[in-house]
């Protein structure tokens, strides 16, 4: 069975599988482990905990690689519905559109799009 590259499998030094979500929640309470915790995501230092990431090989076995940090990106949970031209789109609030403003083009986030604006493609924003 193939495992997607973005799916992380962790084991401890004894070879037991580690639940990533529970592991992150447990250690995020220790301020000395937090390398970054902002709007982009969370990065925890785990180099001294004996945690390994399992990477699948072509032969179907796994290669255990020691981890020094775990990254958990944050994604925009806010989804907006915007009508542009005849199409209604579902986009995240941080999606960027290029808008014509007089004789210039500027980038505008989806949450800042207003009815009446015209995109660089010539389509009008209705709502």
Task: Enumerate the domain spans of the chain.
Answer: 10-73, 79-119
Kindly give the parts of the chain with pLDDT less than 70.
Answer: 1-8, 75-77
State how far Cα 112 lies from the chain centre.
21
Per-residue pLDDT at 5: 42
Helix (H, G, I), strand (E, B) or coil at 75: coil
Q: What is the pTM of this model?
A: 0.53
Phi, psi of 70 (to 5 degrees): -120, 130
Q: List, for residues 70-96, the tens digit of each pLDDT value.
A: 988 876 567 888 888 888 888 888 888
Token pair belonging to 55: 């990477």
């Amino acid at each position: 069975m193939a495992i997607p590259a973005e799916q992380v499998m962790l084991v401890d030094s004894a070879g037991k599988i580690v639940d990533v979500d529970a592991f992150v929640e447990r250690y995020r309470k220790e301020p000395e482990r937090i390398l970054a915790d902002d709007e982009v995501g969370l990065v925890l230092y785990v180099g001294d905990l004996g945690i390994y990431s399992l990477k699948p090989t072509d032969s179907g076995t796994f290669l255990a690689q020691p981890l020094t940090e775990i990254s958990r990106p944050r994604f925009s949970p806010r989804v907006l519905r915007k009508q542009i031209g005849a199409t209604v789109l579902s986009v995240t609030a941080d999606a960027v559109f290029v808008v014509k403003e007089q004789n210039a083009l500027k980038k505008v986030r989806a949450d800042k799009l207003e009815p009446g604006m015209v995109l660089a493609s010539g389509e009008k924003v209705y709502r």
